Amino acid sequence: MSNKRVLKLREAMQNKSVKALFVTSSINRRYLTGFTGSSGYVLITMDAAYLLTDFRYMTQAPQQAQGFTVVEHGQRVTDTIKELLSSSNITELAFEQEDVSFSAYTTFAQQLKPVELLPVAGLVEQLRMFKDEEELKVMQRAADLADETFQHILGFVKKGMTEREVDLEMEFFMRRKGATSSSFDTIVASGERSSMPHGVASERVIQGNELITFDFGALLDGYCSDLTRTIALGQPDPKLKEIYDIVLEAQLHTLEHIKPGMTGREADALARDIITKYGYGEHFGHSTGHGLGMEVHEMPRLSKLSDDVLKPGMVVTVEPGIYLPGLGGVRIEDDIVITDTGIAILTHSSKDFTVLPV
């Protein structure tokens, strides 16, 4: 049976004159094969597609890996690869240079001789940038779950709780609704901690009259969502409301103007130019967004240095922020799909300045 992703991968391999590819990344393995087990390798040639795994998965793997020949590998996966390649004229095996440690490379290179290892980057990741309809449906469900979690937490968070208690409630909520886990360590950053762009939930006790930034997502059926909202508990310093309005303006402007054909640099500038115009450019020290999918950060990048071109089917975040050390910070983040004509927004939580009573 043919597997569309394998067919596309072969095209990409041909463009790079790669005759055989050894896939070691677990995410790429799941993407290509559908196999969800924790251990395995993929070997792709122009006329064969193998999933190599071990004894534990010999029932599960053939059920999940459509279009793959499942092979139980021996103690050393390299021996099995050599055997599989022995009947072909393949003398060079491409490997994923961004995934293989130097130590693993040294071992593989030694054991595979006389087959030579050839480093390649991003062959599968380039395919993963473009989400098909099935993937978009899963990503919409992951985004819906993030929205639902935010709604739930608005009714849960109270002065006197620790950030960690709120984080745990979010985790339980998402897991109860079917998530495998949160898609990264949940950020609940309150008060002056909200000026830390990656203020993972701590033991800090939430006070009144301050901001709280929630940045979190659900990992659902293999795909991530990534949502940020900043709210007020009571009346924070007026300066924080001022930066909230600027971040919101930058975020909405970016959503209004981002479109296919734009580079990551141009998309980044949509948000950055507004924040800079108000004099807060120095306080927006991260990029405007990033690709999202099976991993929370993937290609393309929406940053000052990115030449990536936005194309239909890509899912990216739009997440400008302003951070004032010692006072607080604001970030607002949505997940969007680039379409033929513009964008579709996956996350829908309100962005109106929300003030919860203390």
The residues binding ligand GLY (CB under 6 A) are 184, 187, 215, 226, 319, 333
Please identify, using beta-carbon distances, which residue of 192 and 298 lies nearer to Mn ion: 298
- The C-alpha atoms of residue 113 and residue 253 are separated, in whole angstroms, by 56
**Amino acid at position 44, single letter:** I
Beta bridge partners of 224: 219
Instruction: Choose among Mn ion, ligand GLY, none what residue 308 binds, the Cβ cut-off being 5 to 8 Å by kind.
Output: none
Of these partners, ligand GLY, Mn ion, none, which one is at the site of residue 125 (CB under 5 to 8 Å by kind)? Answer: none
Query: In whole angstroms, how close is the CB of 255 to ligand GLY at the nearest point?
Result: 16
Amino acid at 262: M
Half-sphere exposure of 321 (CA within 13 A, CB side): 28
User: Are 198 and 216 spatial neighbours (Cβ–Cβ below 8 Å)?
Assistant: no
| Residue whose token pair is 């071992």 | 107
Q: Please, are residues 350 and 358 in contact by the beta-carbon 8 Å criterion? A: no
Nearer to ligand GLY, 125 or 334 (CB): 334
Structure tokens at 317: 């975040």
Name the residue with the smallest CB distance to ligand GLY.
Answer: 215
Can you read off the two tokens belonging to residue 240? 């924080």
As measured in angstroms, the least distance from the Cβ of 251 to Mn ion is 12
Minimum distance of ligand GLY from residue 230's CB (angstroms): 13
- 328's CB contacts (< 8 A; 6+ apart) are 191, 192, 194, 195, 210, 211, 236, 237, 240
Please say which residue, 82 or 204, places its beta carbon nearer to ligand GLY.
204
- CA within 13 Å, CB half, 324: 16
Judged by beta carbon, residue 78 or residue 317, the one nearer ligand GLY is 317
Cβ closer to ligand GLY: 76 or 297? Answer: 297
Question: Smallest gap, in angstroms, from Cβ of residue 228 to Mn ion?
Answer: 5
Chain residues binding Mn ion by CB under 5 A are 215, 226, 228, 317, 333
Residue 184, contacted partner among ligand GLY, Mn ion, none, CB below 5-8 A by kind: ligand GLY
CB of 299 to ligand GLY, least distance (A): 14
